[in-house]
Amino acid sequence: MHNIQRLKPLVVTLVMALCFLSGQLSTEVFAAASEAKIGFALSMTGGAASYGATQTKGAQLAIDEINAAAGADGLKILPVFEDDASVPQQGISVFNKFINADKVSIIIGPTLSNTAQVADRIAQDAGMPVLGISNTAKGITEIGDFVFRNSLTEMIVIPNTIKVAKEKFGLKKVAVFYGNDDAFTKGGYEAFKKALADAGIEILTEQSFAKGDRDFSPQLTQIKGKNPDAIIVSALVEEASGIVSQARQLGIAATVPIIGGNGFNSPALIKNAGEAAEGVMMGAAWNASSTLPANSKFVAAFTAKNGGAPDQFAAQAYAGVYIAYEAIKKAGSTTDHKAIRDALLQLKELDTVLGKFSFTAGRDADHIPVVQIVKGGKFTVLE
Amino acid sequence: MDLLAQQLVNGLFIGSVYGLFAVGYTLVFGVLDILNLAHAAVFTLGGLIALWLVETWGLSIWIAFPASVLICGLLGLLLDQVAFAPLRQRADSNFSGLISSIAMAIIFESAALGLFGARTVRFPAGTVSVHIWRWEGLSITSLQVEIVAISILLMFALTQFLNRARVGKAIRAVAENDRTARLLGIHVDGIIAFTFFISSALGGAAGILFGLYFDSLSPDMGRSIELKGLAVIILGGMGSIPGAILGGLAFGLSEVLTVAITGTSNLRDAVAFTVLFTVLVLRPSGLLGRKKLREA
Amino acid sequence: MEALTQFFAIYGSLVNFIGINAILALSLYLTLAAGQLSLGSAAFAGIGGYTAGILTMKLGVPFLLSVVAGSVLSGLVGLLIGLPVLRLHGVFLAIATLAFGEVVRITVLNLDITGGAQGLVGIPNHTKTWGIYLALAVVGYAIAKLRYSRLGWCFESIREDETAAGAMGIDTTYYKTLAFVLGAMLAGFAGALYAHLNYLITPREFGFSVAVDLLIFNIVGGTRAWYGPILGAVLLTALPEILRGTGITAGPMRMAVNGLILLLVILFLPNGLVSIFRRSASKAKDSTLAISEEA
């Protein structure tokens, strides 16, 4: 009997918690007929907070432009931004909320591939189209036919980079340096490794670091001892800038190029590594210096609004909003998710800041990657 | 050979940064037997506040440095007043203090995130002039030398202060036994508050030096050094100032030598933590720690 | 009824996480009950989760069997680690278990069979909500019973004063190790359930911050009663969603509120949320004591 007595407070709290939670259900907002609700699941806190922040800015800019252009009668976007705190668990909660409470037309996000691995399955099961704007790990779009991404994967970007670098520098033997506790950098490493093997380039040494490391000198010293023709780095920009500047500080000659992937394509690299960033090469999905009208307009507007230049994450978020908007308009419905999914697949050669954009049959991004090099403190395209 | 020499330089340098971070950590532990897990958050704020002073107010680093250190010291006072002082009379104060310091760490980190944004930023180029010396393939920067020098100076000053100055002696008395210290007429609460001031000021100083050298500051920069700092104060012996320095150097060297000897870096942190684990099991009081009969 | 369906559609996975976190919190509670502060629970959950996940996914072992295997292996590792580290006390024990946790995490990151940083992908989805809550009910009942058993009193006496307990003839090493191993097994069990929930587990989900979270669940809920950790796990796992519901969506703000709640609880409710109920139910408690003494 006394056991039941002791259970009582627990039951009471559980019931109270449930009531409180269900009370939230009534706060649903229904979109007007000419408004398309888009759910943004982005990481605003936690490990990927800096990416979530720039993605939010990129997306918000696109939304503002679209809504201003839509006028009184046109289709407007009603965005719902939610923070997944960089953890899969909360990503799932956010997706469930978007699907069942907000009843959005399409979900954009999540920021991290690991979160996408679990959350996208929920969207797939519910028949909700989801557009990844920064997921580059393999296996994301294989989850199902409602999962799309506009972020060019490392598997496409990197072989191209290695090919260009080999032609330009005559690479024979290189050192590889990568982050081994992060899905993005580890995936990049695997892509590099495969591309190097295919190109017949020898790997002298493989070194790794952990997310959050700031001191890379022990590994770089080992690399220096091997005298490689180039250093291949798979890192996000936080680590990339430190790697680049410490490599030069340790006396690795500027004639030994440092080659990176998508993660390097950020103004923060040039800002934080300073002069050491000169000559750094990277394969990327977005050409920052592109003079396409759409891109120049984006860079100017973004810089004016946020007081700093955009990076690839902002560009992909910006493009993602336009892509989703185009599809919803084409589908002619904000609630028919299947029609929106079909419309996404049918988009062809859409003009975006990423270039002419289409999806592959596998729902991955299909546009041409670029190889950039830092020259005079600016990203320029390596021809 | 010069490869190994360079690795030793690398290890000594990063080790002294760890040591500087750990000194403040271990000071509070020595006095209160409390692990202050907000120390890493103060470290972060120190760097970010100095950057803010330099960038927004256009101050020279020579003014921004002491100003930020002072602000961090004040944060330490706040930390003591909010998170530790109210718990002091409790039987489980070292346990509840651990939790309240985690709460303060979360609050500080969210403040850093809210005020300074999530981006990784750096001090403007040329904040300090850096010269690189190269010799036989070995390279050392003037900033490295300065940071090691400042670390040694701060630690030397702290040791002298604790051994010679009246307040320093009072801190040691409180560390030994706070009740006796109270009986001897020492204002124990004031001394504890002062200890937090010094500890946090040192943590802030470490954050600024860290940010200056690595050109990278972000709200979560304290996270990666937090666990290493813990390892360092265990290695050195909880509460021991020379131990923290020695522990920092030992930890830095163990990291570097793992890379140098095995040629790969995947297991770098695993080796460091295995060493920590082994030291704890074999010699719980650390390399230079005192043995206590009954630990809290 | 429709509201309930709607509720589960939105918060179904949250309800699952709450259940798993509650079991995890209880696993740490077992260790804390014997006065041992461990930060290794997350790593034990990882060992259980990865073991069970690999068994079902790669070897086609039945779900229940692999859950058992995960718990047992986790318990064995707990025994292996517990024997040397349990000679340590307080913060030192916490740091030793923390170091162990880091070594486990880094090992998992560097193995091929675990999928490294990308995680173990494609684990079959076997864990059901009713299964989690059935397990929680059984575990909760067992731990509630344990509290007033001989074993429970041994744990309690070690927690209050280990030296005195030893002097009274209690084999402290045995009971401390037992508590630690039971905790490890339970954590491994919860980890195994968790692995079969969402197709994927990654090393980061069993890292230091999770170990700290489990400790926080116990402290906020209170460790003076078996339902304390459950209470803490329920409240804090639901908190991000509750805050989201109340419109506090901005990232840093939510984090600050989280920290503030933790601070307020530790400052004003020394024994956790449990003390709110305990104060009003202190009469009931007295009678319980009387009963168990008679028995």
Which residue's structure tokens are 């860079």? A299
| pLDDT higher than 90, residue A3 | no
8 Å CB contact between A40 and A82? yes
Which residues in chain A are closer than 8 Å to B268, comparing Cβ atoms? 218
pLDDT in tens, C12-63: 889 999 999 999 999 999 999 999 999 999 999 999 999 999 999 999 999 9
Q: pLDDT above 70 covers what percent of chain C?
A: 93
| pLDDT higher than 90, residue B177 | no
Which residues in chain A are closer than 8 Å to B223, comparing Cβ atoms? 212
Interface check B117 vs A, CB under 8 A: yes
Nearest to B63 by CA among B49, B44, B81, B74: B49
Report residue C275's pLDDT band, with 50, 70 and 90 as the boundaries. confident
Report residue A9's pLDDT band, with 50, 70 and 90 as the boundaries. very low
Residue with the bigger pLDDT between C71 and C250: it is: C71
Q: Do C202 and A183 touch (CB under 8 A)?
A: yes
Q: pLDDT above 90 covers what percent of chain C?
A: 61
Q: Do C17 and A99 touch (CB under 8 A)?
A: no
Q: Do C240 and A18 touch (CB under 8 A)?
A: no
Give the CATH number of domain C14-294. Answer: 1.10.3470
SS3 call for A364: coil
| pLDDT higher than 60, residue B9 | yes
Interface check A29 vs C, CB under 8 A: no
Average pLDDT, chain A: 88
Q: Do B109 and C84 touch (CB under 8 A)?
A: no
Average pLDDT over residues A141-160: 92
Using CA atoms, how far apart are residues A48 and A58, in angstroms rounded to an integer?
A: 16
Give the chain B residue nearest C272 (alpha carbons). B96
SS3 call for A212: coil
Which residue's structure tokens are 């009668």? A73
Q: Name the CATH superfamily housing domain A154-284.
A: Response regulator (3.40.50.2300)
pLDDT in tens, A342-377: 999 999 999 999 999 999 999 999 888 899 999 999
Report residue A87's pLDDT band, with 50, 70 and 90 as the boundaries. confident
Report residue B1's pLDDT band, with 50, 70 and 90 as the boundaries. low
Q: Do B224 and A213 touch (CB under 8 A)?
A: yes
Which residues in chain B are closer than 8 Å to C255, comparing Cβ atoms? 106, 109-110, 113
| Confidence (pLDDT) at B276 | 85
| CB nearest A21 (choices: C198, C203, C238) | C238
Which residue in B109, B131, B215, B223 has the most chain A C-beta atoms within 10 A of its own C-beta, making it the best mutation to test that interface?
B215
Interface check A44 vs C, CB under 8 A: yes
| CB nearest B110 (choices: C89, C252, C270) | C252
Give the CATH number of domain B2-118+134-282. Answer: 1.10.3470
- End-to-end CA gap in chain A: 81
Nearest to B125 by CA among A237, A214, A215, A277: A277
Which residue in B1, B4, B10 has the most chain A C-beta atoms within 10 A of its own C-beta, making it the best mutation to test that interface?
B10
Average pLDDT over residues A37-58: 91
Report residue B2's pLDDT band, with 50, 70 and 90 as the boundaries. confident
Q: Do A53 and B218 touch (CB under 8 A)?
A: no
> How many Cβ atoms sit within 10 Å of the Cβ of residue A291?
8
CA atoms within 13 A on the CB side of A208: 23
- Tell me the domain boundaries of chain B: 2-118+134-282
Copy the structure tokens of residue C36: 């041992």
Q: Do A237 and B120 touch (CB under 8 A)?
A: yes
Using CA atoms, how far apart are residues A358 and A327, in angstroms rounded to an integer?
A: 12
Minimal C-alpha gap between C251 and chain A (Å): 5
| Confidence (pLDDT) at C148 | 87
Minimal C-alpha gap between A84 and chain C (Å): 9
Q: What is the ipTM of this complex?
A: 0.88
Residues 6+ apart with CB under 8 A from A229: A169, A170, A171, A172, A173, A174, A256
| CB nearest B118 (choices: A49, A208, A245) | A49
- Beta bridge pairs of residue A36: A77
- Beta bridge pairs of residue A37: A78
Q: Do B221 and A207 touch (CB under 8 A)?
A: no
SS3 call for A181: coil
Interface check B95 vs C, CB under 8 A: yes
Average pLDDT over residues A289-317: 93
Q: Do C92 and B280 touch (CB under 8 A)?
A: yes
Report residue A30's pLDDT band, with 50, 70 and 90 as the boundaries. very low
SS3 call for A236: coil
Nearest to A131 by CA among A100, A95, A156: A95
| CB nearest B99 (choices: C95, C102, C262) | C262
Among A32-36, A125-129, B266-270, C107-111, the least confident range: A32-36
Report residue B30's pLDDT band, with 50, 70 and 90 as the boundaries. confident
Whether A35-152+292-368 shares its CATH topology with A154-284 is answered yes
Using CA atoms, how far apart are residues A208 and A186, in angstroms rounded to an integer?
A: 10
8 Å CB contact between B229 and B21? yes
Residue A110: cis peptide before it, omega within 30 degrees of 0: yes
| Confidence (pLDDT) at B292 | 47
Q: At what angle do helices C282-294 and A2-23 cross, to 10 degrees?
A: 140
Interface check B227 vs C, CB under 8 A: yes
Burial of A19 (0-12, 13-18, 19+ CB in 10 A): exposed
Residues 6+ apart with CB under 8 A from C55: C61, C65, C66, C69, C70
| Confidence (pLDDT) at A4 | 44
Transcribe chain C into DSSP letters: -HHHHHHHHHHHHHHHHHHHHHHHHHHHHHHHHTT---S-HHHHHHHHHHHHHHHHHHH---HHHHHHHHHHHHHHHHHHHHHHHTTS-HHHHHHHHHHHHHHHHHHHHH-TTTTGGG-EE-------HHHHHHHHHHHHHHHHHHHTSHHHHHHHHHHH-HHHHHHTT--HHHHHHHHHHHHHHHHHHHHHHHHTTSSEE-GGGGSHHHHHHHHHHHHHH-SSSTHHHHHHHHHHHHHHHHHHHTT--SHHHHHHHHHHHHHHHHHH-TT-THHHHHHHTHHHHHHHHHHHHH-
Q: Do A241 and B215 touch (CB under 8 A)?
A: yes
- Tell me the domain boundaries of chain C: 14-294
Give the chain C residue nearest A113 (alpha carbons). C118
User: Considering only the top CATH level, what class is A35-152+292-368?
Assistant: alpha beta
Using CA atoms, how far apart are residues C66 and B130, in angstroms rounded to an integer?
A: 58
| Confidence (pLDDT) at C255 | 83
Q: Do B113 and C252 touch (CB under 8 A)?
A: yes
pLDDT in tens, C148-194: 899 999 999 998 888 999 999 999 999 999 999 999 999 999 999 99
| Confidence (pLDDT) at B295 | 41
